[in-house]
Structure 1
Amino acid sequence: MTRRVQILVALALTALWGAGIYAAHAGGHLRFLDRLEATLTDWRTQVRGVQRPPDLVTIVAIDDTVVKRGGSYPLPRADLARVVDTIVQFKPKVVAIDLLLVDRSAAIGDATLANTLATGPMVLAAAAIFPSASETVEAGSAGPLAVLPQAERFLLPLPAFADHAEVGIVNVATGQSGSPLSVPMLFRTRDKVELSFPLRVAARALDKPLTIASDHLMLGDRTVPTDTDFALPITYYGPRRTIRTVSAQSIFDGTLNRAAIENRIVVIGAAVAGGGDLYPTPFDSLMPGVEVVSTAITHLIAGDGIVRDRRVHIADALAAILLPVLLVGLLAWRRSALGIMAAATVMIAWAGLNAFAFTHGVWLNAATTLAAAVPPVAIFAGVQLWAGARRTQHLAAKSRSLAQFQAPAVQEWLARDPNFLSKPVRQDAAIVFIDLSGFTSLSERIGPDALREILQAFHALIDKAAVDCGGMITGFLGDGAMILFGLPAAMPDDAARALKCAIDLHRGVEHWIASLPSAIGGQLGFKIGAHFGEIVASRLGESHQHITATGDTVNVASRLMEVAVQNDARLALSNTLLDTADFHGAPDGVLSGPLPAQIRGRSGVVTVWFWRDRDGPSHTAAMAEMID
């Protein structure tokens, strides 16, 4: 499978993963993502910071001060009637009582409260009782109301109270984190639909008709964007008491400020420590439920709530599919730090966009997108690292293999310039040829294993001498080799290094042959030819290329081995090579010549010198003269 196909498969699987994660979460599964989303929502709310709420609502709190005064909780109905009566006298828009008045108490107190509720615009709280297992939707139900949370029944205020007020369901949705993130606007049982407490209060305060559309609500001509289940997402303005709050004790003390009540929405609710109606929020570990409800009422009246409607969910779905695909695509585009940096930049940009949208009133889901993006990106990156390690090992193996055939300088040059010698180059260079004599006849008499060992040892000698002198073996020719000096670039000492290599080969091979068993060493000899002049260097081959040199200089160096054999010598050096190397003999060697020699297949003569090792081992066997 080609890399392009592998990338396309990875992108397709990534897109399917993202779509599957989004669909599973939207279908009510993967509930752990709700807890993660709640945590991320808290962080985004804290990043946004405390905001000043529209001054529309006043909370009259039945707090610890009131309980200490009366000595009991819940507040006696007669005392609650006194609170409501005082508030009504200051002419509020609506009085919302966030207390469940579902049980009878003292007859006088109930009657007094009922009479008081008849004196002004009132909304009372009721509660939905859900099945113990989960909230369910009736099988086979259809239409927009099918998605509503279905309660077993409603706990409604006593008829004596409900006859003088409107009623709304006060439940909030806490989710997995325990922090209220939304308030359902509609509830239902099998045969009844009820409005939420905040929605009743807002509709009464605005005095606008309520319309239930397929995916949103209308208060008069204003759209109230809700989630797909008609829940109102809420975002907190700040810690408790950020919304204007006064203690109900100020009523008993006669210190209540009329300006805090007149022409305002007044919500009466409990704020008693240990009262149970307390929730964790991004700014508070415990916020009274009355302030949560008041936040929802303020959103409905002011229209400043956070949006998480059908269009936002479409954006979430696209993000869950496209973001991981983009990240995997970037990692596949560049398997390097550049790809990682590009992917990291995209992630940072997405996080910034998500936070920016949240602070500007659009709630894009973060947890689902992360769950869609992180696993495939991590898996793909891991596979990339694994493949990269394998590729590195492969390249290292190839490099080690190349090192066995190319001089280190040529390897370094090819690494810097992959197009080296892609076009032939004419230049001066030194050429050394070496060949074993008698090897062909020997190979007919010994086994293949012994033959292989002889060649390995011979090639190792050649390789060491070439590398030590900076030459490049352009190829092993069975029982011989050609060594080139002048690549990757011609150097002033190419001839001198070629001369040293030829002498080192002479000594090394001579001692090696002497160390062989006489039955083998007595059958072997060797010949070396070395010359300097102009060559044509190039790369030959297509899929498997090799560097080679051609030209008259190469032919002369090869034929000099014949000249050496013809003159009972082992090393023949051209006068051109010696002059270029500025060689004048050495105390440990004997240089004889010059000899004008006719080169087979070439007109003219070449001046040749012969070098012998002064201290080399003597051989009793005659040197083989045949040319393999």
Structure 2
Amino acid sequence: MKKFNLKKLFIYINVALILSITLSFIYIFFPKLPDSLDNRLRDYFFTIRGEIPTSNNVVIVDIDEHSLQELGQWPWPRNKISKILKNLTDAGVTIIGFDVVFAEEDNSSPHKVLKQLNIKKDNIPNYDLDFAQTIASTPTILGYLFELKKREFLNNAAPKIPAIYIEKNKQLGKESLIKGVGTVLNIPLLQDNSYSSGFFNNIPDESGIIRSVPLVISYDDIIYPSLGLELLRILLDTDKVYINYDEEGVSTISLANIEIPTDRYGRVLVNFRGKEKTFNYISANDIYNNSFKKEEVAGKIVLIGTSAAGLLDLRATPFESVFPGVEVHANVIDNIIQGDFIYKASWVDGANIFIIFFLSILIVLLIKYTPFWMNPVISISFLVLSLYALYKILFTYGIVLNIFFPIATIILGTILATLFDYFYEIKQEEAIKKKFASKVSQEVMNSLLKDVHSNEFQAMEKEVTVFFSDIRNFTKISEKMKDANKLISYLNEYMDPMSNIIIKYQGTIDKYIGDAIMAYWNAPADVDDHADKAVLASIEQIESLKALNKKLQNDNKPLVDIGIGLNSGTAVVGEMGSIGRSDYTVIGDAINLGARLESLCKYYGSKINISNHTKEKLKGQYILRFLDLVKVKGKEKPAEIWQVQGKGEASKELKEELELHHKAIKLYQNSKFKEALEIFIKLENNPEKSNKKIYEIYIQRCEDFIQNPPSNFIGIYEHSTKG
């Protein structure tokens, strides 16, 4: 889990808001392309859902290929259609609707043929008249078409409607309904003999697919019903239909006790039951020949239409690209009967925009606070969950929410947040590199960059080995070098190789204090064997002074002599300072002791002083000399001071010297000052001695204690000054 960062949180929320506002702007002002993609995604939902049962109240009488082969090419003589209507009525149908328009007279009618031949006879059959009488005597509702685009030779006649259409809460001057500009009606003889009629316009969307059907169309400021709506109105025996408006346009259409939700244009979104022939189809030829089961149509709504390809009434729907137009109307009627509508409520736009904002902020924040590898998991999980939720909302509650924009929000939110995260990581890496490039080794740098959101920079207690070094007699050197530039150049000649050695051994340079260097190991990144690495770096620094001093001597510059102090212990490490001005450093008693050990190098005549805390952690082999058990200024607890004289095994002479030294130290600590003094004098007289100052110190102490024996000697020497 990534750590909390208020500034970064603010930036990420702004990214989410910008994405949300951009997508909302497209949703509101440029909906065409997203709507097309959204519709196609919803089509997949229908495919996944598959077929669902119909109410079994609608039957389609199909003018199919078989009927055309048996009864002849279309249009059939009207007497054949009359026979179909009579057979259906005799079978007990409830109502019949025509998804066919009879816009021309029957040219095959005998009276029409004889008239064209100028032959006059009485009692010649008139198929149109007979058909009109059949329509009048059967529960038949005719169909017609509205012309929706201006063209030449438009018919301006209008059908009669035996109902009142009332518009409720309509805003003045705001027109929502689809407007017809002309009509394609049945011939007047038929139209006038029908109790009623309804239009059967199926209007595809911009992708050419039928997804919605208008229930009402406005023509010459009069509202006309669709075939399906009119069939149901007649069955419900109501003469009033209410068109209910809200601020967006049409919201519902009410008849009797049924309220049909529509879009703002009065169109019902079709909840298709399935593929072609989900409804019961009966061949028109079987009806004509009376070779069908009467119970299949008894008490049912019958729609007469065609599935024959040559009659051009095939449409594309979400389920398939070839779908009889008559079955679209069957689906609409069945939707209204069962009440399982799908619809876009007036509040849907607000809900869609809310979903965009909610998902955008949620996705961006989740990506911010989870590991990088979780990004695709989060994205895929939210895509699956969102699609499942939208699917359930569509088919359980019938509410049509936008599918495209939630998907786009999740994908774009993931990409943007991931890219931002990536570039933010780069920025963090650059900040770390800038802060530590000259202070730590490449290994430590790589460790820090593995996870820039780790807790490495938070203030914490951590075991470290601290390093202090200082140039001896630097005050005198600086006084002699009066030119500041030359002094800085001289210091850089020393600091550069010393710093490189610290970094080589994975140390972190804390700061340069004039001629002093402060460094530490095991922070900010963990360093294995940090005490050993600190000691090895110190030894190499002392050894490197030989080459440096040789060069300085050749350049007539002062030689460099340094003292180094090392201590290991728990310190507080982390970013410290004021707001806007801070540094990564270490503080605590362990650090202070390290500084005291460095300053005591002068006193003990040593180059490298380490505490017993550092000595106890060493794993390598080193040449060590016990110097003292002391209380340094400001400390109550005593610490052992050890001199590091090299690594590996000591020479025979040095080994013998150190053995005698430590023997004398034991005698001294046991208050056997005379015996200790003898050894210290012997060591001090050795011309090859490796530390002249230490023997002088202990000779002086032994002599003092012999003359003035201490009452309770415990071997602790207390330093009252820093050095």
Same fold, TM-score > 0.5, yes or no: yes
Q: 1:507 maps to what in 2?
A: 543
Q: 2:202 maps to what in 1?
A: 172
Aligned match for 1:525, one of 559, 563, 566: 559
Aligned match for 2:186, one of 143, 157, 160: 157
Which residue identity lines up with residue 66 of structure 2 in the other structure? T
Q: 2:140 maps to what in 1?
A: 122
Higher mean alpha-carbon deviation, 119-128 vs 222-231, is at: 222-231
Q: 1:54 maps to what in 2?
A: 55
Aligned match for 2:585, one of 529, 546, 559: 546
Q: Which secondary structure does the structure 1 equivalent of 2:74 belong to?
A: coil
Shift of residue 84, structure 1, vs aligned partner = 1.6
Instruction: Encode CA deviations 1:255-292: one digit per residue, 9 max, x unaligned.
Output: 12211221111111121113221112233320111111
Q: 2:212 maps to what in 1?
A: 182
Q: Name stretches of at least 5 consecutive residues in structure 1 with no aligned partner.
A: 134-140, 567-571, 606-628
Higher mean alpha-carbon deviation, 383-392 vs 336-345, is at: 336-345
Which residue identity lines up with residue 367 of structure 1 in the other structure? F
Structure 1 contact 92–266 (Cα < 8 Å) conserved: yes
Counterpart-to-counterpart distance in 1, 2:221 and 2:594: 106
Shift of residue 217, structure 1, vs aligned partner = 1.7
Change (3 A) 1:453 1:94: same
Q: Which secondary structure does the structure 2 equivalent of 1:363 belong to?
A: coil
Shift of residue 398, structure 1, vs aligned partner = 3.2
Q: 1:243 maps to what in 2?
A: 279
Q: Which secondary structure does the structure 2 equivalent of 1:147 belong to?
A: coil
Instruction: Encode CA deviations 1:138-161: one digit per residue, 9 max, x unaligned.
Output: xxx945982110111222211211
Q: Which secondary structure does the structure 1 equivalent of 2:561 belong to?
A: strand
Counterpart-to-counterpart distance in 2, 1:409 and 1:233: 60
Q: 1:351 maps to what in 2?
A: 387
Counterpart-to-counterpart distance in 2, 1:418 and 1:375: 32
Q: Which secondary structure does the structure 2 equivalent of 1:52 belong to?
A: coil
Aligned match for 1:199, one of 229, 243, 266: 229
Q: Please say if 1:390 is aligned against 2:419.
A: no
Count of matched residue pairs: 582
Structure 2 contact 19–360 (Cα < 8 Å) conserved: yes
Which residue identity lines up with residue 159 of structure 1 in the other structure? P
Which residue identity lines up with residue 139 of structure 2 in the other structure? P
Q: Please say if 1:577 is aligned against 2:642.
A: yes
Counterpart-to-counterpart distance in 2, 1:85 and 1:554: 115
Counterpart-to-counterpart distance in 1, 2:138 and 2:173: 34
Q: 2:690 maps to what in 1?
A: 592
Counterpart-to-counterpart distance in 2, 1:348 and 1:468: 51
Which residue identity lines up with residue 177 of structure 2 in the other structure? L
Structure 1 contact 81–113 (Cα < 8 Å) conserved: yes
Root-mean-square deviation (CA), in Å? 4.3
Structure 2 contact 375–414 (Cα < 8 Å) conserved: no
Q: 1:608 maps to what in 2?
A: none
Shift of residue 385, structure 1, vs aligned partner = 3.1
Shift of residue 312, structure 1, vs aligned partner = 4.5
Counterpart-to-counterpart distance in 2, 1:174 and 1:412: 58
Q: Please say if 1:17 is aligned against 2:22.
A: yes
Counterpart-to-counterpart distance in 2, 1:498 and 1:324: 50
Change (3 A) 1:591 1:324: same
Shift of residue 59, structure 1, vs aligned partner = 0.5
Higher mean alpha-carbon deviation, 174-183 vs 407-416, is at: 407-416
Q: 1:304 maps to what in 2?
A: 340
Structure 1 contact 528–564 (Cα < 8 Å) conserved: no
Change (3 A) 1:84 1:474: closer
Q: 1:619 maps to what in 2?
A: none
Higher mean alpha-carbon deviation, 185-194 vs 401-410, is at: 401-410
Q: 2:3 maps to what in 1?
A: none
Which residue identity lines up with residue 440 of structure 1 in the other structure? S
Which residue identity lines up with residue 528 of structure 1 in the other structure? I
Counterpart-to-counterpart distance in 2, 1:407 and 1:269: 81
Aligned match for 1:362, one of 399, 403, 407: 399
Shift of residue 5, structure 1, vs aligned partner = 4.5
Shift of residue 228, structure 1, vs aligned partner = 2.2
Structure 2 contact 606–643 (Cα < 8 Å) conserved: no
Which residue identity lines up with residue 219 of structure 1 in the other structure? L
1:324-473 to 2 correspondence within 5 Å? Answer: 324-332=360-368, 336-337=372-373, 341-342=377-378, 344-360=380-396, 361-370=398-407, 375=412, 378-403=415-440, 418=456, 422=460, 433-435=470-472, 439-440=477-478, 443-444=481-482, 448=485, 454-467=490-503
Shift of residue 78, structure 1, vs aligned partner = 2.5
Structure 1 contact 435–479 (Cα < 8 Å) conserved: no
Which residue identity lines up with residue 89 of structure 1 in the other structure? D
Counterpart-to-counterpart distance in 1, 2:36 and 2:449: 56
Counterpart-to-counterpart distance in 2, 1:386 and 1:492: 35
- Structure whose alpha-carbon radius of gyration is higher: 2
Q: 2:159 maps to what in 1?
A: none
Q: Name stretches of at least 5 consecutive residues in structure 2 with no aligned partner.
A: 1-5, 113-125, 152-169, 245-250, 608-623, 628-640, 655-687, 703-723
Counterpart-to-counterpart distance in 2, 1:67 and 1:459: 104
Change (3 A) 1:315 1:76: farther
Q: 2:681 maps to what in 1?
A: none
Q: 1:613 maps to what in 2?
A: none
Structure 1 contact 279–287 (Cα < 8 Å) conserved: yes
TM-score of the two chains, using structure 2 as the length reference = 0.69
Counterpart-to-counterpart distance in 1, 2:566 and 2:287: 115
Q: Please say if 1:557 is aligned against 2:595.
A: no
Structure 1 contact 430–486 (Cα < 8 Å) conserved: no
Counterpart-to-counterpart distance in 2, 1:314 and 1:531: 70
Higher mean alpha-carbon deviation, 573-582 vs 146-155, is at: 573-582
Shift of residue 456, structure 1, vs aligned partner = 3.5
Counterpart-to-counterpart distance in 1, 2:594 and 2:696: 15
Structure 1 contact 21–371 (Cα < 8 Å) conserved: no
Q: 2:636 maps to what in 1?
A: none
Shift of residue 523, structure 1, vs aligned partner = 2.8
Q: Which secondary structure does the structure 1 equivalent of 2:560 belong to?
A: strand
Higher mean alpha-carbon deviation, 102-111 vs 390-399, is at: 390-399
